[in-house]
Amino acid sequence: MLPPLLTRPHSPFRWFFAGRAVSLLGSAMAPVALAFAVLDASGRPGDLGIVLAARMVPLLAFLLVGGATADRFSRRTVLIAANLGSGLTQGVVAALLLSGHYALGAVAALEFLNGSLAAFTTPALRGLVPELVPKDELRQANSLLASVSNAAKVFGPSVSGVLVAASGGGTAIAWDAASYLLAAACLTRLPRRVGASASAGGGRTPLARDLREGWRVFRGTPWVWPVTLAFAVVNLVQTGTWQILGPQLTEQLSGSAALWGLVLSARGVGMLVMSGVTYRLTLRHLARAGQLASVLGALPLLAVGQRFAAPLLLAAAFTAGLGSALTMTAWDTSLQEHIPERVLSRVAAYDDLLSYIAIPVGQLAVGPLAQRFGGFDVATTASLCYAVVALLPLASPALRRLPHGSPAGVGEDGAAIPGADRAAVGPRRSPVRRAAGPESGARAEK
């Protein structure tokens, strides 16, 4: 039986969910397809690095502009335009590969455009969900979205692998392009009023002023920035170690590359299971539970670093998946419940940018560190740093006491409600400060 959010008559969330499901499956297929397509066409691993960097750089560079745009204009319109643009760019990449006209410059330029469009998509998605469902159903909505995202992560690469083996990477990228176009078609079924609340007065204030306002709200919310800074460090020590050393070290432990695939699958299954649990799970302090659960993400690195046997490593990966899914759902829901809709996309953009900005540093540093100290020791150290840093935001009373549900002590316009519990929301120091109140992200998955 389908959840009520997907069966309720005239619910706009159904079309949004359908669009996300299609798009996420295509996006989960794309990395495998693009990697094999570029390597097959060029024979040079360096080309793949350039293509991947060409997409990542604008994604980070334009996140803040994307957040401001999503708050200034209709988020529905922003998402439709971004999906149409992404479908076009991926379609041209597929055409180049399928026709045998691969050229590094052309593919890199198209992926640069694709990354730029993604910078507008991510903040708009976060900001649109509260306009589609009542606030008391945000957790269920985010759980459903997390379920389809995690299912895509489990099955998407496998489907892509089959397509690549059968007809080449270009075909799988063509499917990715089609998924963007189908997602745009689903979004057109949303009522025009949906996503339009952010556009009241859109374009009437300078972009720089909008960005400054978003920064003031982000900086002035006492439970948001500690979590963001913590995950900047978590991503610094975890992402590169996991992505680069993980396959190598698990192969050394087992003598086979197959273990790494099983580990990723176990983690994906854990995320999928917890996504179903969070749909029904009711917690008074959801943000606190999500932050505690984030510590579980350190277990696979610790298991690898300590050379645990394969069954224990798989159990650690499954447990980490459980924690990661709860963390992501709790964070997205808390942002949407407690940050005013008019600045939500900007706050989400600052959160994403600062959470991810240190990842390239970690990716570049992990190789030399492994050569100097040994891969297993680096993995162990990274896991311990991960666990300690993930716990630090819980020192903030504002995070520990943040209630799940309606904003505590804060009105929709960000103004304090007389007589509110100030201990739960923290002191106010500026008129735009939120005292109460965001994959990815662990948030490393954001």
Tokens encoding 6: 């997907």
Residue 256 lies in a domain: yes
d(CA 290, CA 351): 16
Helix (H/G/I), strand (E/B), else coil: 384? helix
pLDDT greater than 90 at residue 430: no
With a CB cutoff of 8 Å and minimum separation 6, the contacts of 208 are: none
Residue 183 has pLDDT above 80, yes or no: yes
Q: Which of 160, 175, 203 is the last residue of a domain?
A: 203
Name the domain boundary from 203, 237, 267: 203
Q: Is 413 part of any domain?
A: no
Name, in order, each residue with C-beta under 8 angstroms of 348's C-beta and a sequence gap of 6 or more: 67, 122, 123, 126, 127, 335, 438
Same domain flag for 390 and 271? yes
Residues 348 and 397 in one domain: yes
Question: Which pLDDT tens digit goes with each residue over 285-332?
Answer: 999 999 999 999 999 999 999 999 999 999 999 999 999 999 999 999
pLDDT surpasses 80 at 334: yes
Indicate the pLDDT class of residue 403, thresholds 50, 70 and 90: very high
Residue 228 and residue 164 share a domain: no
pLDDT at 422 over 50: no
Nearest alpha-carbon partner for 332 in 123, 180, 154:
123
- For the cut 90, the answer to whether the pLDDT of residue 416 exceeds it is no
Q: How confident is the model at residue 420 (pLDDT cuts 50, 70, 90)?
A: very low
CATH code for the domain of 252: 1.20.1250.20
Q: Looking at the predicted structure, is the pLDDT value of residue 247 above 70?
A: yes
Q: What is the predicted pLDDT for the residue at 427?
A: 33
Tokens of 291: 């932050």
Between residues 4 and 389, the one the model is more confident about:
389
The residue out of 186, 203, 220 marking a domain boundary is: 203
Tokens matching residue 338: 């407690």
Q: DSSP per residue over 10-66, as a string? A: T-HHHHHHHHHHHHHHHHHHHHHHHHHHHHHHH--HHHHHHHHHHHHHHHHHTHHHH
Q: Is residue 174 part of a domain?
A: yes
- What is the C-alpha to C-alpha distance for residues 352 and 67, in angstroms, rounded to an integer? 10
Predicted TM-score (pTM) of the model is 0.80
Whether residues 285 and 357 share a domain: the answer is yes
How high is the pLDDT of residue 202?
A: 52
Average pLDDT in the 343-363 region? 91
- Domain assignment present for residue 49? The answer is yes
The residue-averaged pLDDT of 72-96 equals: 94
231, 184: one domain: no
pLDDT band at 414 (very low <50, low <70, confident <90, very high): very low
What residues make up the domain containing 123?
Answer: 1-203
223 shares a domain with 143: no
**pLDDT at site 407:** 53
Q: Are residue 305 and residue 267 in the same domain, yes or no? A: yes
The domain total for the chain is: 2
pLDDT at 432: 30
Q: Could you tell me the CA-to-CA distances from 199 to 58, 72, 216, 416, 432 in Å, in that order?
A: 24, 5, 20, 24, 19
- 218 with 192, same domain? no
Instruction: Judge whether residue 352 has pLDDT over 50.
Output: yes
> What would the pLDDT profile of 249-270 be if each residue is shown by its tens digit?
988 888 877 788 788 888 989 9
Is 143 a domain residue?
yes
* 123 and 216 share one domain: no
Confidence of residue 16 (pLDDT cuts 50, 70, 90): very high
The proportion of the chain whose per-residue pLDDT surpasses 90, expressed as a percent, equals 53
Output the average pLDDT for the chain.
84
Do 227 and 110 lie in one domain? The reply is no
Same domain, 55 and 190: yes
Residue 3 lies in a domain: yes
**Looking at residues 411-434, what average pLDDT do you find?**
33
Highest mean pLDDT among 193-197, 368-372, 414-418, 428-432: 368-372
In a domain, 27, yes or no: yes
Quick one: 334 and 241 in the same domain? yes
> What is the sign, positive or negative, of the torsion defined by CA atoms of 198, 411, 403, 282?
negative
412 inside domain:
no
